[in-house]
């Protein structure tokens, strides 16, 4: 029988969840879902000095916001909750387990107590550096007799437990992305497994937990490849079967071509969501960073990603982190929204921009959002884009001038338009009939469209770029005082040109 797929992410709560880092979570999640397996979240908080308050909540909540939730471990449901029967899922609550397994290794002589002081270790390192040797512990404490060890322990001498690496062994493992990897044990230090404060190091904890939580595939960033041989030695020492290893290619900076620097990729997921990136767009963007479904298709729903996901389509080389591409995905997803969905999503941004939306009819707001939907890259832009509908914007008179047209012509055209619009019944404004009427009028009067419609549009918006003047007037036409607003703005433009 095939082993159940059980995968995990093991973040350390040492900061907020970063956008680049999510990809590893996503691939684990997709692989679990694709194989009807379990997705587990485990919290690696063994480095107590680096803990950042609130980061556990941030990690779990950000994942929930993106639609990734753990089958076991902490998850977010109006607060931090935990589920699963292989817990605790937070390493600091598992210290007794690590102690027990470290002791088992000591008993089997795969590990040993080390009482060397920080000072001695530093001297050793300096000495090795001077001789250009790689820094390694010299196994001095391996030679302590059982009596000496017992005496030191009973007198509370500070100590750690180290892995006893045997020289001249070839350590081999297979990685599903990078293939067979081999390394000589001579290159591996006698790694500390249990620290003097009783906490395990990452290496001991990750192996013990992956084993006890029955992890089938370890899917993580390729920066962990150099640690994997140490883990292999531990699996062998315990006599445990190895999981499959899948190391993911790095994400590279578009600017430097190098591994994504902290500054670029470390923008918190929450910050992206706040700017109005849609979770589905973020997921789609991240999924394609280093994984290629080998079709022309670029837009994938989460369900489609689950169906398509497999390791053989993972790249070995790095993937470029391109924020323009994320913007593109986001605009595609924004265009897919139904107008009422867009309205709900835009509300907080409109309110934030100081727009008193409750004073306007819903169909007016819907109309202006429809106008912007095509060009919106992120929801947070909406306030700036539509504020002219709610408040007259200031602008330079020069903006009213269409190409090389002279000022007098523009002024004359605005005057004619104003008179004409004034003469139209209000009902025409409400009926979306202005386009036809105005075009007919311009034709009759032999007025060139650019020389009339450009200044009209600028008069209405105060902007260099916006939807067209007819669309804007149709929107204003929904308001009871739509005609008045339009005429007032044209008036203002005429004043500006004087």
Question: CA quadruple 105, 110, 116, 122: dihedral positive or negative?
Answer: negative
Strand bridging mode 6-9 / 38-41: parallel
- CA 87 to each of CA 129, 214, 354: distance values in angstroms, whole numbers, following the listed order: 43, 12, 47
Q: How far apart are alpha carbons 32 and 310 in whole angstroms?
A: 11
Instruction: Report, in Å, the least distance between residue 220 CB and ligand GLU.
Output: 4
Cβ pair 215, 254 in contact under 8 A: no
Q: Does residue 412 have an active-site annotation?
A: no
Which stretch in 5-13, 169-177, 319-327, 481-489 sits in contact with ligand GLU by CB under 6 A?
5-13
How many beta carbons lie within 10 A of that of residue 419, not counting itself?
Answer: 12
Question: How far is Cα 185 from Cα 167, in angstroms, rounded to an integer?
Answer: 6
- Does 209 participate in binding ligand GLU (rule CB under 6 A)? no
C-beta of 111: minimal distance to ligand GLU in Å? 20
Residues numbered 35-74 forming contacts with ligand GLU, rule: CB under 6 A: 44
Residues 95-124 that bind ligand GLU (CB under 6 A): none
The distance of closest approach from Cβ of residue 322 to ligand GLU in the complex, given in angstroms and rounded to an integer, is: 23
Q: Which is nearer to ligand GLU, 12 or 35 (CB)?
A: 12
- CB within 8 A of 260, min separation 6: which ones? 20, 250, 251, 252, 253, 321
Tell the smallest beta-carbon distance from residue 224 to ligand GLU (Å). 5
Residue in 183, 206, 260, 379 binding ligand GLU, rule: CB under 6 A: 206
- Of 3, 108, 254, 262, the catalytic one is 262
Q: With respect to ligand GLU, which residue has the nearer C-beta, 21 or 279?
A: 21
3-class DSSP state of 43: strand
493 alpha-carbon distance from chain centroid:
45
Among 33, 195, 220, 247, binds ligand GLU (CB under 6 A): 220
Q: Which of 486, 382, 390 lies closest to 430 in space, CA to CA?
A: 486
Question: Mask 6-35, x = binds ligand GLU (CB under 6 A)?
Answer: ----xxx-----------------------
Using the minimum distance from each CB to ligand GLU, give the nearer residue, 220 or 230.
220
**Closest approach of ligand GLU to the CB of residue 373, in Å:** 38
Region 222-251 residues binding ligand GLU, contact defined as CB under 6 A: 224
Shortest approach of ligand GLU to residue 54 CB, angstroms?
Answer: 17
Is the C-alpha dihedral spanning 328, 329, 332, 338 positive or negative?
negative
Region from 4-12, 127-135, 163-171, 270-278 binding ligand GLU, contact rule CB under 6 A = 4-12
The 356-395 site mask, x for binding ligand GLU (CB under 6 A), equals: ----------------------------------------
Query: Is there a cis peptide before residue 88, judged by omega within 30 degrees of 0?
Result: yes
Nearest to residue 39, comparing CAs of 216, 190, 191, 179? 216
Q: Return the C-alpha torsion angle 227, 53, 72, 178, nearest 10.
A: -20
- With CB atoms as reference, the residue minimizing the distance to ligand GLU is 220
Which of 124, 221 has the CB closer to ligand GLU? Answer: 221
Angle separating helix axes 469-477 and 382-390, nearest 10 degrees: 60
Tell me the HSE value of 150 on the side-chain side, using a 13 A CA sphere: 3
Q: Which residues are tagged catalytic? A: 262
Q: What residue ranges bind ligand GLU (CB under 6 A)?
A: 10-12, 44, 206, 220, 224
């Amino acid at each position: 029988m095939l082993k159940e797929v059980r995968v995990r992410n093991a973040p350390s709560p040492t900061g907020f969840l970063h956008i680049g880092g999510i990809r590893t979570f996503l691939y684990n999640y997709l692989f679990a879902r694709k194989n009807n397996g379990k997705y587990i979240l485990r919290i690696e908080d063994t480095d107590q000095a680096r803990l950042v308050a609130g980061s556990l909540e941030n990690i779990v909540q950000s994942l929930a916001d993106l639609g990734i939730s753990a089958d076991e471990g902490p998850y977010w449901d109006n607060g931090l909750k935990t589920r699963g029967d292989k817990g605790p899922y937070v390493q600091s609550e598992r210290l007794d387990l690590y102690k027990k397994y470290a002791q088992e290794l000591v008993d089997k002589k795969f590990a040993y107590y080390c009482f060397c002081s920080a000072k001695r270790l530093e001297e050793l390192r300096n000495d090795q550096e001077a001789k250009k040797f790689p820094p390694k512990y010299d196994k001095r404490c391996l030679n302590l007799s059982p009596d000496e060890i017992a005496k030191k322990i009973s007198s509370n001498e500070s100590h750690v437990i180290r892995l006893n690496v045997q020289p001249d062994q070839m350590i081999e493992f297979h990685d599903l992305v990078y293939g067979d990897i081999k390394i000589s044990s001579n290159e591996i230090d006698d790694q500390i497994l249990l620290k003097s404060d009783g906490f395990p190091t990452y290496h001991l904890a990750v192996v013990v937990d992956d084993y006890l939580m029955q992890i089938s595939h370890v899917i993580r960033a390729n920066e962990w490849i150099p640690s994997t041989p140490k883990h292999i030695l531990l699996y062998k020492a315990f006599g445990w079967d190895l999981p499959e290893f899948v190391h993911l290619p790095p994400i590279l900076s578009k600017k430097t071509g190098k591994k994504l620097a902290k500054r670029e990729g470390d923008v918190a997921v929450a910050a992206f969501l706040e700017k109005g990136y849609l979770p589905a767009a973020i997921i789609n963007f991240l999924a394609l960073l280093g994984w290629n479904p080998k079709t022309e298709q670029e837009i994938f729903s989460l369900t489609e990603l689950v169906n398509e996901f497999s390791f053989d389509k993972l790249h070995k080389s790095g993937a470029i982190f391109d924020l323009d591409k994320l913007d593109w995905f986001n605009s595609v997803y924004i265009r897919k929204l139904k107008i009422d969905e867009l309205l709900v999503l835009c509300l907080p941004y409109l309110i934030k921009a100081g727009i008193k939306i409750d004073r306007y009819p819903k169909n007016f707001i819907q109309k202006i959002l429809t106008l912007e939907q095509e060009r919106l890259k992120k929801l947070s832009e909406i306030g700036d884009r539509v504020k002219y509908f709610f408040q007259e914007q200031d602008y330079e008179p020069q903006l009213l001038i269409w190409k090389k047209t002279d000022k007098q012509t523009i002024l004359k055209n605005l005057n004619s338009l104003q008179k004409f619009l004034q003469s139209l019944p209000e009902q025409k404004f409400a009926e979306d009939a202005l386009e036809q009427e105005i075009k007919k009028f311009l034709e009759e009067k032999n007025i060139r469209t650019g020389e009339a419609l450009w200044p009209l549009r600028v008069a209405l918006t105060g902007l260099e770029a916006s939807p067209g003047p007819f669309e804007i007037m149709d929107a204003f036409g929904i308001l009871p005082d739509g005609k008045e607003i339009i005429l007032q703005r044209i008036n203002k433009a005429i004043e500006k040109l004087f």
